[in-house]
């Protein structure tokens, strides 16, 4: 398989309806939260357990939401197991939202189980997952703008399932408003800028678990601001350096200069960073306008200066997806699902860095 498969892989299973503009799958999301456990068990479905750390407050008026859009002063923990219908009954790469909770497990994503945890129970769940599945790698996913809590859980379950990734999935959900309007965008950006310390706390918890030997970050859009701030706060202490090996920034909604200021001080303590960008990303061009014209990292031309020299100096692996074509940057890599997911699975299983051997092809 050509190295470019890795590039397509990440965009195919990570780039979703998590930023503006929202895509069709987001508009089909029910108004009511979907995290209402179903008692119906169906053969041939796949159960995907997601461990969660969140700075959202517990929901008081929608049991299917679990955690609301309101912030919490303390980290909350949970575990949700998502049931995914057989591939023959669904379109791989998409979420089949239940028309109304709890849904039909034969053809829709449903919640098999959901429960709150405390920190000790979360840590025990990580250990149990590592032992039962014989895995020692964790992947922490940080969602972007316009995400409800249940939306982030289902999207991450789809990501892990369709990628068949050999990881223990951990979701960090910050209190996005889950609405695609200008006021919510401004609110989400402010909250994202305040969420890095909490993410660093979650990573420290996972890092301290002896059952985990390697951690990978995947963040999307505004979630990359949270991730980079967490990296900055953990690097001086060096606590996560031995286990945090890869960081994948997908369509990052952050200013280029701000990005460099965040990653530069980390120096040799920093994990390998892969930057996935598209020069024709419409969502990020909207963001650029909202940010007063500040260039967004996710839609720069990596061959132009000062970007090329600065990224090379910082040893950032660049994957320019513009040449892949298509109508919209966030969805152009949503084809050839099976082959590219095999690429990610094989690379993680073999212990390879996510950016190895691919950057040269990506920038051509």
CB 33 within 8 A of CB 64: yes
φ, ψ of residue 164 to 5 degrees: the values are: 50, 50
User: Can you tell me the mean pLDDT for 23-35?
Assistant: 67
> What confidence score (pLDDT) does residue 172 get?
98
Peptide bond into 266 cis (omega under 30): no
Domain around 72: 4-362
pLDDT, residue 184, reads 80
Give CA–CA dist 171/117, Å, rounded: 14
Q: Is the pLDDT of residue 347 over 60?
A: no
Q: Identify the top-confidence range among 62-66, 77-81, 86-90, 267-271.
A: 77-81
C-alpha span between 295 and 256 (Å, rounded): 6
Strands 46-58 and 67-84, bridge-based pairing = antiparallel
Mean pLDDT of 312-331: 70
- How much is the mean pLDDT over the chain? 80
Rounded Cα distance between 339 and 209, Å, is: 33
**pLDDT of 344 strictly over 80:** no
The yes-or-no verdict on residue 15 having pLDDT over 50 is no
What is the value of pTM for the model shown? 0.84
Q: Which of 57-71, 172-186, 299-313 has the lowest mean pLDDT?
A: 172-186
Q: Say if residue 187's pLDDT is above 80.
A: yes
In terms of DSSP bridges, do strands 46-58 and 137-142 run parallel, antiparallel, or are they unpaired? unpaired
**How high is the pLDDT of residue 363?**
40
β-sheet bridge partners, residue 272: 246
Query: Comparing 14 with 135, which gets the higher pLDDT?
Result: 135
> What pLDDT score was predicted for residue 99?
86
3-state secondary structure the chain: CCCHHHHHHHHHHCCCCCCCCCCHHHHCCCCCCCCCECCCCCCCCEEEEEEEEEEEEECCCCCCCCEEEEEEEEEEEEEEEEEECCHHHCCCCCCCCCCCCCCCCCCCCEEEEEEEECHHHHHHHHHHHHHHHCCCEEEEEECCCCCCHHHHHHHHHHHHHHHCCCCEEEEEECCCCCCCCHHHHHHHHHHHCCCHHHHHHHHHHHHHCCCCCEEEEEEECCHHHHHHHHHHHHCCCCCCCCCEEEEEEECCCCEHHHHHHHHHHHHHHCCEEEEEECCCCHHHHHHHHHCCCCCEHHHCCCCCCCHHHHHHHCCCEEEECHHHCCCCCCCCCCCCHHHHHHHHHHHHHCCCCCCCCCHHHHCC
The fraction of the chain above a pLDDT of 90, given in percent, is 45
Backbone CA torsion sign across 109, 82, 23, 337: negative
8 A C-beta contact, residue 123 and residue 209:
yes
Residue 110 confidence (pLDDT): 96
Which of 261 and 116 is assigned the larger pLDDT?
116
Look at the chain and report how many structural domains it folds into: 1
Residues 116-142 pLDDT 10s: 999 999 999 999 999 999 999 999 999
| Whether the Cβ atoms of residue 275 and residue 317 lie closer than 8 Å to each other | yes
- Residue-level pLDDT at 351: 52
At residue 323 the predicted structure's pLDDT band, cuts being 50, 70 and 90, is: low
Nearest to 129 by CA among 212, 202, 214, 55: 212
Res 322 pLDDT > 60: yes
Dihedral of CA atoms 101, 102, 104, 108 in degrees, nearest 10, equals 70
pLDDT at position 209, please? 96
Q: What is the pLDDT of residues 206-257, one digit of tens each?
A: 999 999 999 988 888 899 999 999 988 776 554 444 699 888 888 889 999 9
Contact 222, 188 (CB under 8 A): yes
Provide mean pLDDT across the span 61-80.
95
Lowest mean pLDDT among 99-103, 105-109, 194-198, 351-355: 351-355
- 8 Å CB contact between 230 and 203: yes
Label residues 170-200 b or e (16+ Cβ within 10 Å = b): bbbbbbbbbbbeeebbebbbebbeebbebbb
Q: 4 and 362 in contact (C-beta within 8 Å)? A: yes
Is the pLDDT confidence value at 147 over 60? yes
pLDDT for residue 24 is more than 50: no
Backbone angles phi, psi at 162, to 5 degrees: -70, -25
Lowest mean pLDDT among 80-84, 218-222, 237-241, 357-361: 357-361
- What is the pLDDT averaged over residues 352-359? 46
């Amino acid at each position: 398989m050509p190295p470019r498969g890795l590039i397509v892989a990440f965009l195919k299973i990570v780039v979703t309806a998590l930023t503006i503009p929202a895509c069709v799958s987001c508009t089909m999301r029910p108004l009511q939260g979907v995290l209402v456990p179903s008692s119906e068990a169906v053969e041939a479905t796949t159960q995907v357990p997601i461990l969660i750390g969140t700075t959202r407050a517990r929901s008081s008026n929608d049991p299917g939401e679990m955690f609301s859009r309101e912030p919490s002063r303390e980290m909350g923990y949970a575990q949700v197991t998502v049931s995914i219908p057989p591939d023959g009954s669904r379109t791989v790469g998409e979420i089949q939202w239940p028309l109304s909770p709890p849904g039909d497990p034969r053809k829709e994503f449903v919640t098999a189980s959901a429960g709150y945890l405390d920190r000790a129970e979360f840590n025990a769940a990580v250990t149990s997952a590592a032992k039962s599945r014989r895995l020692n790698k964790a992947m922490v996913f940080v969602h972007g703008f316009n995400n409800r809590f249940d939306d982030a859980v289902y999207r991450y379950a789809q990501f892990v399932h369709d990628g068949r990734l050999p990881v223990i999935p951990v979701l960090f959900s910050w209190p996005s408003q889950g609405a695609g309007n200008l006021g919510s965008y401004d609110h989400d950006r402010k909250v994202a800028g305040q969420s890095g310390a909490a993410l660093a706390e979650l990573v420290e918890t996972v890092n301290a678990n002896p059952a985990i030997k390697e951690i990978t970050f995947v963040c999307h859009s505004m979630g990359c601001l949270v991730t980079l701030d967490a990296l900055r706060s953990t690097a001086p202490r060096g606590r996560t350096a031995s286990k945090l090996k890869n960081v994948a920034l997908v369509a990052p909604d952050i200013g280029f200069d701000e990005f460099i200021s965040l990653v530069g001080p980390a120096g040799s303590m920093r994990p390998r960073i892969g930057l996935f960008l598209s020069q024709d990303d419409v969502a990020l061009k909207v963001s650029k306008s909202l940010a007063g014209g500040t260039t967004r990292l996710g839609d720069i031309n990596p061959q132009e200066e000062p970007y090329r020299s600065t990224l090379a100096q910082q040893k950032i692996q660049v994957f320019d997806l513009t040449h892949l074509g298509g109508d919209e940057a966030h969805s152009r890599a949503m084809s050839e699902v099976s082959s590219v997911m095999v690429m990610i699975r094989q690379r993680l299983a073999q212990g390879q860095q996510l950016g190895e051997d691919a950057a040269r092809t990506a920038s051509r």
